[in-house]
Each structure stands twice: as C-alpha cells, then as structure tokens.
A and B are shown apart, each in its own frame.
Chain A
Amino acid sequence: MFDVGNFRAKTCSGLTRRSFLRIGSSIPLAWGLSSLDSAKAASLARAKSVVFVWLWGAPSHLDTFDPKPDSPMEYRGPYGTIATRTPGVRFTELLPRMAARSDRFTLVRSHVTTQPGHPDAGTVSFTGFHERPLPVKPNFGSIIAKHRGHQGQVPPFMSIGRGTPRDSARLVEGYGGGTLGKSYDPFIVKCDADGSVDIPSLQLLEGITPNRLVDRKSLSARLDEVRRRLDSSGIADWDRVYQHAYGMLHNPDSRRAFDLNEEPREIRDRYGFSTFGQSALMTRRMVEAGVPYIQLNWSETVEAITPNHDFGWDTHIYNFEMLQDRHCPILDRALPVLLDELEDRGLLETTLVVAMGEFGRTPKISNRAARDHWPRCYFSLWTGAGLEVGRTLGESDKLGEDPITDPISPLMVGTTLAEFAGVTTADRAEMNVLPGGQVIDGLL
C-alpha cells in the first residue's frame, strides 16, 4: 500500500482532520497498465444503459447500509438492524424494502475519496479526478456519451431530477463534458413530485411547444432568431442541443417518453409521489428509450435543511430525524421499484445500476447529535448487466471509519462503468480520459 494525496475531513465549513488515502499498490500509472485482456473486456461490455443514482449530500453509511450495531452508542446511532436476503448482512430498520431485495444487488462497503467538501467530492465522484488543476475532466456519462455518439432522437447522457448538482455556493464543476466539450454535457430533465416535467434546454426554443410544431415555417424563423443571439463559439454546442430538443419535440414517440401521464396510475403510485420517486420512474422510461447514461439525482442541492434548498443528504443537524422522517422512506420506496421494474421488463440484463453518494458521514456522532462529512469510508450498490449479486464486496472496520479491505476509489468506479458500457482501455486512451483507471476486480 502507498499513500496518494491527502484530504481534510469533517464539516462543510470546519475542516478538522487531515489524513491520507491509502490505495493498493497495484494502482496503474497509465491506461496501458490498467488494460483488461480483450476477451475479458468484451465480456464486460454488457450495459446498453448505465443508471448512476446520485445520492447527493452523502448518506450516512452507518445509518443505512453499513450499520455497526455492536459499536458504542456514540457511534452506532439509534436504529435497530434488520436481516437482509444476504446471509450475514444487516441494514438498519429504515430500509426494509431494500433489505428484502439485497439478493438482487452487490453492496460495496469500502469506498474512499480524497475530498471532504461537497462540490469537490462531487467532481471526483463524477470524473475520477479533482477539479484542479484545470481543465476539469469529463463526467463518466460524458465519456460514455462520446463513445456511443449522438444517435437518433435520444440524448446519450441525461441528468434527471431537480437540476445540475450544486451546494449553496456553486455548481459541481464535473457535472458535464469537461475536456470533451459542452456537446457532452448532460441533457437535463427536471421532475417534480407530482410527475410534472420540465426540460430546460427546450427553453432555448421559447414559445415552441409540441402543439405548435405543425407550423414548420414559424419554427424555423424562431430557431434562426435564437441562433443569431448566440456567438459563433457556442453555435456548435447549441446546434447539438437544438437537434435533440427539436428532434424530441418533433417526434411523437420522443415526446411521449417524457410524459409520465403515459404510465398506468398503479405504476406511478408504486414509485411514490416524491421528486425522487417520479424521477426514478422517468429513469426507467429513459432506459426503455435506450439512453446510454442516466444520472438520477436525489436532489439539486446538498443541504438537508436550508432555506431554498431541496433536502439533500447533508445532515449536519437533524441527521436521524431526516433519515427516518423523509430520506430513507423515500429511497426505500423508489429504488426497489426501479430495480423491480428493470428486472420485470427484461431491462436489467443490459442495464448497469449504481447508487452512491460522494462520501460517508462521521461514524462518531457529532456534538449536534448528527453526522458530518467522512471521506474515508462509504458505500455503493451495484446491480444489472450480468453482475453477480446478493453479496457484499469490501468491508469497513468495526466502527465504520476505514475499509479493512482494498479501498475503492471514484476513478475505479468510473473505469468500471466505462468498461461495462463498452468503453475499452484503447477507447479511453484515444479520448484521453480516465488515465490510470482500474476496474473494480471484485465486481467481475
């Protein structure tokens, strides 16, 4: 083992701890060293779609999927634990439906990251690399989007939820195309709890609605007007956005894909009438439509309880109240239904689903009887695309402070997603992305 980089941990504003990320000595130094043999790589490329469920704000690992019931009270928290379908694995009582489906996913409990703050850790989680030095690297979704290319009416990278992830101060810089260009930014679809949908890029086409598309002359004039307003440097990017927006508006099938009213009431009910629930339903529809990479966002902002913020997982106060009152019931309703539906519809074989946040939360309960940031240990869930499921991979120590198995980094997550989506080592080298990336061997 050796140390790479450092991080300071604890809170959004009060950085109180400095430590080092310990990475296994097998970390490769360039694409060539991380290459899988071609036969193995080909066998991995099973994911027509990747769904990245982004639990923005960082859920407490101890209070959800990695409880420590035998640890002291100041660590373990107030929740009981329940058995799962995976022998020897327990979740907290807040997640009974996920526990009943643990045989359908693999739980990873040994993640580490290098950044203790949200936007920075968000960028590392989306790209595998720090925001600085510039340029910002591309989102995993942008890499897969470039590899697949823009085909038909379907955008190759969609971000579904309330908007581009941010905290109270700024956007996560790694949200989009980065070095690959804005053409590979995500196509954003906003969903509300009642299932209403907003597509911000269509605001470029102000005044143009599906019903008005019959008047092609009017549309062309409008588009020309928008085009004149853009400077030449943005025209190529805009063209791409326009093509999708126009294409979707023009194509009745595409329009219907975004209309949750097309779903039977019973299906919409199953997901629950929350922003995340209806966004999860939209995600399933986008998988059916063949979107290669979908980032399903829990929230736009990280903060759990802050004016004009939409209740992320950042629970510096009210950790236990928020988890039991709101977050876990919503998650435990929507995510199992998404997994069930993908499986029932035969989509899971060709869809890789990963759920995670940007870090964990302090195993030791804070002065405010809550939990702060903890980059040294957190979890993820993986299923689909032929993965072996019903098991855990990696293990944290008895207090949930550090992995006791080889740590798994965000770069390894991105590299694994890329391999499953068919972006080979050679492809990545050609795009100059994910250098040094290594797949998570234990998942294969």
Chain B
Amino acid sequence: MDFFSMSKWLSVLLIVGITFLIPSRVRAEESIRLTQDSLFKRDPTFVDQGKAIVFVLLERPEQLRLMKLDLASGKSSPLHQDENRSELEPRFSRDGRYYAYIQSRSPASVAMVIRDAKEKKEVEIPPESGFSGMRSPVFAHDGSRIYYSFAEEGRQQIFSVDLQAANRKKVVDSRGINNWPDISPDGKHIVFSSTRDGNYEIYLSKIDGSELVRVTESPFMDIRPRISPDGKRIAFVSTRDGNYELYVVDVDGTNLVRITNHAERDDFPDWHPEGKRLVSVSERAGRKDLYLFMVP
C-alpha cells in the first residue's frame, strides 16, 4: 500500500473514530484534513446524510467546478463532468433531490440554477441585462422554496422563489448588503449577514423577515452564518481576531466559541448533520483543503 492510500485509510479511520469514540466535548482546533490537492476551494456543504461533501474547486485558473467528495473512499469527482463554466455556491434540499447553484454566463453576469437531480431537469433565474448576479442560494426546510441574495437599486436583498424559479418574494430588505441566508431546521427562522448597521453582522429573523434580532456585534466582518442541525447555534466566520476564523454562537448571541485559531485562513463553514462537526476550507502552509473541526 503506498503512502497516499495509507493516508486515505487513516483519514477514514479517524473520521469513524471521532464519530463513535471521542466524547462529545473535545477542544476546538482538533481537525482532520479531508483533501490533499492544496488547490483553491470554497463553499463545502454536506450531502447524503453527511456521507459526502459537495464543494467548489478552482480546477484550472479560469474555472470553478462543483466537486463531490465521498468521505468513505476519499475520492472526489466532478458533479457536472462536461461543464466548462464556473459554478459555485451549491446548496441541496434536505432530501437531496434538488440543488441550486450559481453559474457564470457572460462577463460579470451569472444565473442561479435549480436542478432536479431525480428528473434530471433544471430551471433557472437568468441574469438580468447588464451586470447582474444572484448569490448564496439555500433551500427552505421543506424544500419548497429557495432563498437567495440579489442586488438591485444599490441594495443587496434576500428573496425567495419556488422550485420553478417563479413567484419571487422579497424577504429581507434594508440598506446595505444582506447575504448568506440560511434557514433553521424547523423552517421558522432565517439567519443572514447584513451591513445595515455599518459592517457585516449576523441577524436572525422570522422566516418572513419580521422580528429581526442582531446576533453578533464586532467592528469586523461576521459572515457566512450557518444554523446548526438542532437550530440552537450558528457557525460563522469572523475577522475579529485578526484573520478569518470559525466561530459558533448561540442563536441568542451568547456563548461565543472560537473554533479555529491559526495564523492562516479558516472559512466557509458547514455543519455535519449530526451537529458536532464543521467542515471548512482552511489554509495551512499556503495550501487550501477541506478540514473537519469538532465543535465543543
């Protein structure tokens, strides 16, 4: 068995070990490296009940490609083998049947695609004329709608559409930028980042945008919030301690925990469905790979 095969099996054994053997509260910073190619990555999201991760890889200098990493085998493969346009920000419905992502179409112009993996059909929100693009799609808890961010009239707001990319509704609207929506497991709340009070902070509201509560307060970026599977905590990225690090906070803004502590960047968190681990894109020695971090 060569070194790389051995490393792959050791990684699998470590994942199994962490899942079943290690007590639930372990110190932060303990991590497992899931990929080895060191290339630029972003947007990892767990799929298949946590058995796989779909992420975005800068496969060549001109293309971001959707990849699927099977955690048991450690093998990655393209989600759309023949695609030559950049695709990013994939998110899946809970049952895995649908997924939505952003697709580059022409200069500074992107579409949002909603794909039915079972029927192999897709619909899209095409880019508007001129420079235009949707961002950060995410499915409602019951998979009936997709929430996403879109900029018009100088404000970046959060909208939702149905699975046919129709019946658009405005959900969050304020001055500044509203981005990275995520939906609570019970479908009653939406969390997102907003600059309405000056810089990126994390906010929570009811699913219709009402009863807004500010969750974080920092003079630096708090971005990319993700609600935990039990709906009680929010993972996010902040530069409050000097560079990009992962944090977890209760939905009421208490019990802030710093998950990573490294001179290089940790970004793009997503919760494993069992709610005890986060996947991230972390830079170590200049190499960007997927890592798993335990959440104490």
Do B220 and A365 have beta carbons less than 8 Å apart? no
Q: Tell which of B26-34, B228-236, B283-291 binds the partner.
A: B283-291
Inter-chain contacts of A80 with B (CB < 8 A): 199, 219-221, 239
| Inter-chain residue pair count (beta carbon < 8 A) | 137
Given contacts A80-B199, A306-B108, contact A367 B62 (CB under 8 A): no
Asked if A207 lies at the interface with its beta carbon under 8 angstroms from chain B, I say no
Q: Tell which of A220-228, A242-250, A321-329, A434-442 binds the partner.
A: A321-329
Interface string of A316-347 (1 = CB under 8 A from B): 11101100111001000100000000000000
Interchain CA distance A14-B130 in the complex, whole Å: 9
Inter-chain contacts of A194 with B (CB < 8 A): 38-39
Choose among B200, B244, B287 the residue that contacts A78 (Cβ–Cβ < 8 A).
B200
For the complex, count residues of A whose C-beta is within 8 A of B: 55
Do B154 and A310 have beta carbons less than 8 Å apart? no
Inter-chain contacts of A301 with B (CB < 8 A): 62
Inter-chain contacts of B223 with A (CB < 8 A): 324
Asked if A193 lies at the interface with its beta carbon under 8 angstroms from chain B, I say yes
Q: Tell which of B4-12, B72-80, B131-139, B163-171 binds the partner.
A: B131-139
Given contacts A73-B175, A78-B221, A370-B151, contact A273 B38 (CB under 8 A): yes
Asked if B210 lies at the interface with its beta carbon under 8 angstroms from chain A, I say no
Asked if B105 lies at the interface with its beta carbon under 8 angstroms from chain A, I say yes
Given contacts A305-B133, A308-B63, contact A96 B242 (CB under 8 A): yes
Interchain CA distance A368-B285 in the complex, whole Å: 36
Inter-chain contacts of B195 with A (CB < 8 A): 73, 78
Asked if B42 lies at the interface with its beta carbon under 8 angstroms from chain A, I say yes
Interface string of B239-280 (1 = CB under 8 A from A): 100111000000000000000000001010000000000000
Asked if A410 lies at the interface with its beta carbon under 8 angstroms from chain B, I say no
Do B155 and A314 have beta carbons less than 8 Å apart? no
Query: What's the nearest-Cβ distance from chain A to residue B104, in Å?
Result: 5
With both beta carbons as reference points, the residue of chain A lying nearest to B176 in the complex is identified as A73
Interchain CA distance A162-B62 in the complex, whole Å: 10
Interface string of B40-53 (1 = CB under 8 A from A): 10100000000000
Q: Which 10 A-B pairs have the closest CB atoms?
A: A369-B151, A272-B286, A316-B131, A269-B285, A316-B108, A369-B156, A310-B61, A269-B286, A78-B195, A317-B133
Residues of A within 8 A of B (CB): 11-14, 73-74, 78-80, 93, 96, 162, 168, 192-194, 268-275, 277, 299-301, 303-311, 314-318, 320-321, 324-326, 329, 333, 365-370
Q: Could you list 15 examples of A-B contacts with CB < 8 Å? A: A73-B175, A78-B200, A80-B221, A194-B39, A270-B286, A273-B40, A304-B108, A307-B85, A310-B62, A311-B61, A321-B179, A325-B42, A329-B265, A366-B131, A369-B155
